[in-house]
Structure 1
């Protein structure tokens, strides 16, 4: 049982600190406005095609495969990936973009071929995690994609659990072109806007390729803390 904690004399303590600093006690924090903000200028003039090339180059450095598809060709691209990897099971986010990108029909086809398919269902709790632990493929959608580091930003929600990207052997991240931004600067601006709208995600996951660790004698080991392989599918969603 967690013990309750009472804070005594908080106001007098803070009032005394403010007095020692020679200013009134502040009750609100004002965000500073910096004269120089170089983070806003980096990569600000690059085109969409240049961002994609930067993303591809960085993905290669982090051992991540990048393929391209349209909304129409996405099911066939996924079919080829599953066949090539000899996958037998899939776990996927329950995301509105499944319908937008025509994936329910793809899942029906996969089931017809004998694959186990599970769409994350908050109502069944732990059973989702048990399936994800055994799944060959985990399918998510990138909410924001950082070209500079080839990172996908996944904003967790009821049907968008982080286990889908962490537990299966292979993580397939579907990246709408509209989600690609230059770097972390733009991602934080987007998340701040969501917060101002009262749309805070339960968790923010920033993932760069497969699980990599070189903690022991600087020897790179893949798959220690997550998927052995990552595949990015860039979708032209214009």
Structure 2
């Protein structure tokens, strides 16, 4: 049956037996490490300092970065879309687009300019994937952003298909400045905080660092191997 665990005890008992010991059934106490170097990198850095780190890292990961405020977000986003050659565009269905004042851009201004915009709709099934596959630009939002590595963390759900970030030719990630953290350690802590507040876990969590690339063949870096060949981050001052 779907969602039912069967033969768990027998399976775990067999593993314990192969290890030559009885099965441990009591909770394992979390170790308290004397040294935690992962907490020291960029410790105490302000959001402005983290933003500067992110900007420097974007140079290394072949990613263009813009900073803006909510008043100028629409014009900044419009300029990025123009630089990428327009549509078709695929976006998540996210209420923050309306909160940030760019819904009219997506649903009125761009269509009036003959720029096709498709909003992810779970009711449309595989049509979503087809639209993403044929899109020039995918627009998503980073929930947590790692300054040290230039990594955007995207949470997927029924309204936020993961293909929006990796099937279009170009990726545009909107990054609230408040989402900036030093590195993976703090990202994990922030995701735990988000879960504590919402009580929800994303169906898929993607850590994306700039455009797709690979150096698997003779250590030669090739950008645009298995996803977007170009990426732009737009940092929004929401503090």
Query: TM > 0.5 between the two?
Result: yes
Which blocks of at least 5 consecutive residues in structure 1 are unaligned? Answer: none
Q: Report the equivalent of 1:158.
A: 158
**What is residue 133 of structure 2 aligned with on the other side?**
133
Find out whether 1:124 has 2:124 as its counterpart.
Answer: yes
1:203 aligned residue: 204
How far 1:27 sits from its partner (Å)? Answer: 3.8
Q: SS of 1:91's equivalent?
A: strand
Worse-matched range after superposition: 66-75 or 32-41: 32-41
Query: CA deviation digits over 1:12-50, x for unaligned, max 9?
Result: 5467579x55x8832433332222222122211212221
Number of the residue aligned with 2:176: 176
What secondary structure does 2:71 align onto?
coil
Segment drifting more, 7-16 vs 89-98: 7-16
CA-CA distance at 1:6 after TM superposition = 5.0
Query: SS of the counterpart of 2:139?
Result: strand
Three-state SS of the structure 2 residue aligned to 1:237 is: coil
What is the CA deviation profile of residues 45-83 of structure 1, one whole-angstrom value per residue up to 9, with x for unaligned ones?
212221111000001001000011111111111111222
Which moved further from structure 2: 98-107 or 168-177?
Answer: 98-107
User: What residue number does 2:232 align with?
Assistant: 231
CA contact (8 A) 1:14 1:25 kept: no
Match of 2:213 in 1: 212
Is residue 71–residue 101 contact of structure 1 (8 Å, CA) maintained in 2?
Answer: yes
What is residue 66 of structure 2 aligned with on the other side? 67
Q: Measure the CA separation in 1 of the matches of 2:6 and 2:234.
A: 49
TM-score normalised per structure 1? 0.90
Structure 1 residues 15 and 174, CA gap change in structure 2 (3 angstroms): closer
TM-score by length of 2: 0.89
| CA–CA separation in structure 1 for the residues paired with 2:234 and 2:157 | 22
C-alpha deviations, 1:162-215, integer Å up to 9, x for none? 101000000000011000111111110122234455311111100000001111
Change in Cα spacing, 1:153 to 1:7, as seen in structure 2 (3 Å) is: closer
Q: Cα–Cα, structure 1 residues 219 and 24, in superposed 2: closer, same or farther, change >3 Å?
A: closer
Counterparts of 1:21-60 in structure 2, within 5 Å, are 21=21, 25-60=24-59
Contact 2:170–2:228 (8 Å) recurs in 1: yes
C-alpha offsets along residues 134-153 of structure 1, whole Å, 9 cap, x if unaligned? 10110000100000001100
